Structure 1
Amino acid sequence: MLEQVSARVWVTTSPTWLTTSTVVVDDDGACLVVDPALTPADLVSLQRELTDRGWHVAAAFSTHPHWDHTLWSEALPDVPRWATPAAAAACTDEELAAQAARDLPGHRWDVVGGTTPLPPDTTELPWTGPRAVVVATPGHAPGHASLHLPGERVLLAGDMLSDVEVPLLDDGPGAVDAYRRSLQRLADVVAGCDAVVPGHGRVTDAAAASHRLAADHRYLDDLTAGAEPLDPRLGDQRVRAEHEAQAARLPV
């Protein structure tokens, strides 16, 4: 299940929407789990594999307040599950559970939501493992943040820099400009990384991530100009529907 992308970083990918979960492992086996997903069976399997490796979950981080990034399970221990203050406050647990029931029905979820807000202006996660820098990347969802592991030369991009999804925008005002600024911020981080992990899609390197950055800028340019984007990611029916919905929301 888990694939190693650096000395201390491992990733597993669910076949549903190519949703990734990332595990950062300290020398003593303590783990930081980022965006664990996607089904209850996935979460149970993740915990089983961590136990089999002799690792233990010490903390978690949710990159943003969409249900598939705020999941937990009774199979996993009760640990801090950090999110930015804006992300933690954006949706109630009931709203997130309703989203999950709508988007992926038929599952009995243990925990959806329940994240712990980081103190305001926190720039690094307060855990004892590899340094994890919180990078504010708004535009996709309130409080969206990526996680940079400089010692590992790894970027966990949340729902950005995907090879399977176009930029999906927050419903709030100014989302396009915020997303563009986030892409510019990520470009500086990507240049110093060996591995980039999107929330949905395939792990890649800095060179390919730079191509994704350019594709995302082109998509936003076409979207705001009212032009039809020539983007292969729109071949997926779900992504096409999301694109058409957000194109309809933009002011004429």
Structure 2
Amino acid sequence: MRRFRELAAGVLIATADFAATNSVAVVAGDGGCLVIDPAISVADLSGLAADLAGSGLRARLGFATHPHWDHVLWNRELGAVPRYAAPRAVTITLTERDGMVRQLQRSAPGHDLDLFGQLVPLPEGADAIAWDGPAARLIIHDGHAPGHAAVFLPDSGVLVAGDMLSDTEIPVLDTVADDPLGDYRAGLALLGAVPGVRWLVPGHGNVADAGEFRRRVAADTGYLDLLAAGKPFHDPRCTKDWMRDAHERQLRTVAGLS
């Protein structure tokens, strides 16, 4: 079964069953690929590697959008290539590794832990991924997690948004940050200001066109406004226990900081 499908010229996307998790491969002219957030199960990663090989493609480098267990995976079939992330994301991956491993083993066991979270920090202040394939601009912020980085591909108009702008999940704030609401607002504003977005790929959920991208920016802005108001409210995306728990935790956190 093939996992990757073409979203735009030179941009492949695969969606795992687990939490509708999206992975992206950006193809250079010689067949080398930038692989972003490969996930989730051992079989999923093997399938992604087989898809690339079957199309005459190969991973040249990897990129993790943020330091959560489901975004820092890899396997040997994808190749021994450098895997990058924003500096703050790499720091969190190192300091929180034990907890991330526990989450991994509960949710997607069987991965090679020697490869889990083995990330290289980008140079401080980097605003793009340096490689000889299509331009890959970075939008780095702390909205969902420290060092969260969306990747914008201007040639195709594809915005790989990490764990933001989902149609199936509420905005999930970093509630241990000093200003979780302010951080998320700042990150959302940066993403909403990206010019020329034709396709949005969220970390979890459905791919969106330009009009839906704008609708999601507005929906998430509205969610943050309701959080700031400090009164209980319902969001239709809260369909699972973990999301309802996150929503209630965010209400309590924002109320406690106000």
The 5 A counterparts of 1:197-216 are 197-216=201-220
Distance 2:86 2:102 in 1: 22
Q: Could you tell me the percent identity over the aligned residues?
A: 41
Distance 1:17 1:216 in 2: 19
Q: Which runs of 5+ in 1 are unaligned?
A: none
Contact 2:67 2:92 in 1 (8 A): yes
Q: Which runs of 5+ in 2 are unaligned?
A: none
Q: Count how many residue pairs are aligned between Structure 1 and Structure 2.
A: 249
Q: Which amino acid aligns with 1:95?
A: G
Distance 1:250 1:194 in 2: 33
Matching of residue 236 in structure 1 with residue 240 in structure 2:
yes
Q: 1:168 aligns with which of 172, 186, 193?
A: 172
Q: Which amino acid aligns with 1:188?
A: A
SS in structure 2 of the partner of residue 71 of structure 1 = coil
Structure 2 match to 1:145: 149
Q: Displacement of 1:184 after TM fit?
A: 1.2
Q: Displacement of 1:175 after TM fit?
A: 1.6
Structure 1 match to 2:124: 120
Q: Displacement of 1:209 after TM fit?
A: 1.0
SS in structure 1 of the partner of residue 139 of structure 2 = strand
Q: Displacement of 1:173 after TM fit?
A: 1.0
Q: 1:196 aligns with which of 197, 200, 211?
A: 200
Distance 2:232 2:77 in 1: 45
Structure 2 match to 1:18: 20
Q: Which amino acid aligns with 2:12?
A: W
Q: Displacement of 1:57 after TM fit?
A: 0.5
Q: Which amino acid aligns with 2:121?
A: P
Matching of residue 157 in structure 1 with residue 187 in structure 2:
no
Q: 2:71 aligns with which of 69, 72, 94?
A: 69
Q: CA RMSD in A?
A: 1.3
Matching of residue 90 in structure 1 with residue 92 in structure 2:
yes
Q: Displacement of 1:242 after TM fit?
A: 1.8
